[in-house]
Structure 1
Amino acid sequence: MSLVSNNIKYLRRLNGLTQEQFSRKIGIKRSLLGAYEEARANPNLTNLKNMATAFGVSVDHLLKNDLRRLRETPDLGIPFNPAFKPMAPLIKDDAPSAPQPLSAIVNKFQPPKPALRMVAKQVALKPVRPEKFERSATPITPFTANAPLTFNNHYEENGATKSAPPIEVKAPQQTIQWVKRGQANEYLANYQDTAFLNRLPVFQLPNLPSGHYRAFEASEDFSFPGALLVGSFVRNWYEIKDGTHYALLIKNTGVISRKVYNQVKAKGILLLRSDDPKRSDLELPIRDVLEVWEVKSFVSQTMPASKPSHENLKKILGNLRDELNRDTSSGGFLS
């Protein structure tokens, strides 16, 4: 079951409505409502708005929040009206009409017959040229991320073998939109504006699965300040993993990149921890979070500092031990 399907079923039962009653009130079939509640289909935007209006919640809360839990924790600031009365029916609950003949029902849904077109002159129909296709013996080119997948077909015509044009299958696309540091305030104001998002620079990275990503510039909270953090969108707050780096869009603040610890169920907050031990932790109320992007990759011009090898450490300790032994054997002492 998905989060949306659980919310729809929970709110419908909370208001004492059957599937038949609620489906008629929002103008859809009962079977479609059942598919929504069983997560066999996703509601479109119009049906989402109608259901959210009927229940007295926003579409955003219906998509992102587990309303069963949020109702038990009202401190999260999610509006909820337990005294909700069902809205007026969007379609009329007309009394069942008298039975109609089957022929009348069939004729109602029959498409209109096309009008006959009179042809002034006789039309000569040419026979279709027979073409015999057979599987190519040439091996198929392996799929790569940078080249389309092609298939070659051969057919015979008048005893000669000819090749048909190859069929191209496009490779899955990878899109990374880049939000520059100087665009932080503009992004905060237009993060839901499609026109603004379409103007963002787009690039790709090798070895990154296909999909839609967004890149943000890291602050001093990251081990490599100034690095480009590439993240995938997180739709459910409860899927945030402890100790994982995320880029978060915060209300009235902008983008913050830190390690996140999920305390939504216990306190309704996210605990943000910097890679810099000198910086204190932040407790962020979940109601102030506008977007969450899980960091999947990063690009940095700073190379990590090299760590001393175990062999070098053993050699240094051995030299110190030898020096201490020489001082002890010569009667010296350490002050």
Structure 2
Amino acid sequence: MAIAGKNLKYLRKLRGWTQEEFATRLGIKRSLLGAYEEERAEPRTEVLEIVSDIFKVTLDDLLRSDIGEGSGSNYLSKRRQLKLSTPGQSIIPFVPLKAAAGYLNGYGDPEFVDELNTFTLPMVASGNFRAFEIVGDSMLPTPSGSVIVGEKVEDMEAVKNNQAYIVVSKTEGIVYKRILRNNRSRAKVTLVSDNPVYEPYQLAMEDIMELWAAQVVITKVSPQQRYDVTSLSHLVSNLQEQVNTIKKKLPNA
């Protein structure tokens, strides 16, 4: 049943699921799914039945046919064809925080990128876009946990001074910063945080692997603080006490 494991991997990647996501849908551990895909173990019949229901394929096809080869093209070409089939709208791969380390190793691997979850945005036209989850308070008021949608910068000469970018580099990993070009030296750029607590620092151009110009910031809605009558009463009382204290310290007119 080695072909079954190969078919599981093909179908998972065709749908764009990670092993963790697919294993959750199948009700098994990710490590077991990995064993199936690497042909170190044979998929159980009940697992194949779930796969059959999800993808509307027969058990006989899963067990006897190479679905990828039989369909005339591999999963990568199918995924790319699917992405190109949405006119005027970009399919945006999403790099969550948990995938950041893997992205640094596999950013240039089409197979790795095709495993990332994707989404579309009505305000984003066609182009090469990618979304990154950021963490930390260095770009406040953009809060930690926000998702930055960036458009790929192919030429460093197109970088605009003081604009925000997702910078993927060998030394700093994935960071969200504003870029200042150094007129004296084109070998380095200065990365600046919106939060003034953080000092600017320089980064060598040769360390930059990818650059994405920030286009859209997606953040969670923060619950607005509400005051009830009692809270407002306490607030007013405190203000009155502060005013009275100040008056007592002032010299008599």
Please give the TM-score of this superposition, normalised by the length of structure 1. 0.39
Question: In 2, Cα distance between the equivalents of 1:214 and 1:270?
Answer: 22
Q: Is the 8 A contact 2:92 2:129 kept in 1?
A: yes
- Name the residue aligned to 1:235: 154
Judged with a 3 Å threshold, the aligned counterparts in structure 2 of structure 1 residues 200 and 261 are, in CA distance, closer, same or farther, namely same
Q: 1:170 to 1:273 in 2, by over 3 A?
A: closer
| TM-aligned CA distance change 1:172 to 1:181, over 3 Å | same
**1:69 maps to which residue?**
none
Whether 1:256 and 2:175 are equivalent positions in the alignment is yes
Partner of 2:113: 197
Name the structure, 1 or 2, with higher relative contact order (CA <8 Å, separation 6+). Answer: 2
Q: 1:1-335 to 2 correspondence within 5 Å?
A: 171-220=87-136, 221-223=138-140, 224-263=143-182, 266-303=185-222, 332-333=252-253
CA gap of 1:332–1:243, structure 2 versus 1, over 3 A, is: same
User: How many residues matched?
Assistant: 143
Find runs of 4+ consecutive structure 1 residues off by over 6 angstroms: none
Q: Per-residue CA shift, 1:10-54, capped at 9, x if unaligned? A: xxxxxxxxxxxxxxxxxxxxxxxxxxxxxxxxxxxxxxxxxxxxx
Do the aligned residues in 2 keep the contact of 1:238 with 1:264 (CA within 8 Å)? no
Deviation for aligned residue 1:262: 1.6
Contact 2:89/2:124 (8 A) holds in 1 = no
Which has the larger helix fraction? 2
What runs of 5+ residues in structure 2 fail to find an aligned partner?
1-84, 226-242
SS of residue paired to 2:185: helix
1:253 is matched by which residue type in structure 2? Answer: E
Aligned mates of 2:120, 2:157 — CA distance in 1? 29
Structure 1 residue ranges without an equivalent (≥5): 1-168, 307-322
1:173 Cα deviation from its structure 2 partner: 3.1
Partner of 2:76: none
Cα 1:218–1:264, aligned 2, differ >3 Å: closer, same or farther?
farther
**Following TM superposition, by how much is the alpha carbon of 1:200 offset from its aligned partner in structure 2, in angstroms?**
0.6
